[in-house]
Amino acid sequence: MKAEIRYFTKTGNTKKLADAIAEELGTQAKDLSAPLPEKTDILFLCSSVYWAGADSSVKKYIKDNANKIGTLVNVSTAAMIESTYAQIKKVCAQAGVTISDKEFHCRGKFTAMHPGHPDDTDIQAVKEFARKVMGEA
Ligand SMILES: Cc1cc2nc3c(=O)[nH]c(=O)nc-3n(C[C@H](O)[C@H](O)[C@H](O)COP(=O)(O)O)c2cc1C
């Protein structure tokens, strides 16, 4: 079962989750400058929201790599919204990409909100999530 991990981050929060998944799976997380090298069973795509929307580079990455994504697993941080899942699901539908109904989301620090997040508990939780996804895939 082949998995790849990609992330987009502006302030580092989401990269923490991507790196934790990578550590758990014994691989490396890469930013969106790295296209998928080949067909991958699972793509953990780690993103966030800025002014209520996912960054355009995340949407472009999904479209550009659509034919190499087996199943996209959404991972996100945000300060206020519950998840980027709905937005990413919409992009996947447009690109013809399968998105898992399993997702991981936690708070990310933003100004005075959620200091320290993702914290150690979040990191352990995302590792467990990744283990479970790979175990069930
Ligand atoms: C420019 C900017 C705009 C943001 N807008 C939102 C927003 O509209 N809704 C929200 O829930 N969080 C918002 N946030 C908070 C981020 O989603 C949160 O801090 C997230 O963890 C950032 O991830 P990153 O550090 O990987 O970039 C914003 C953060 C930044 C820097």
CATH number of the CATH domain containing 33: 3.40.50.360
For 11-43, write each residue's pLDDT tens digit: 999 999 999 999 999 999 999 999 999 999 999
Q: From 58, 68, 66, 50, select the one nearest 18 (Cα to Cα).
A: 58
Which of 6, 11, 31 most suits a substitution to test ligand 1, by most atoms within 8 Å of the C-beta? Answer: 11
Q: How many domains does the chain have?
A: 1
- List helix spans (H) across the chain: 13-25, 56-64, 85-95, 120-136
**Residue 45 structural domain:** 3-136
What residue owns the CA closest to ligand 1's atom 11?
Answer: 80
Whole-number Å distance, alpha carbon 32 to ligand 1 midpoint, is: 18
Q: Is the pTM of this model over 0.85?
A: yes
Around ligand 1, the residues with Cβ closer than 6 Å are 9-14, 48-52, 77-81, 108-110
Whole-number Å distance, alpha carbon 99 to ligand 1 midpoint, is: 22
Q: Which amino acid makes up residue 61?
A: Y
21-90-55 Cα angle (round to 5): 60
Q: What is the mean pLDDT of residues 88-94?
A: 97
Reported residue count of the chain is 137
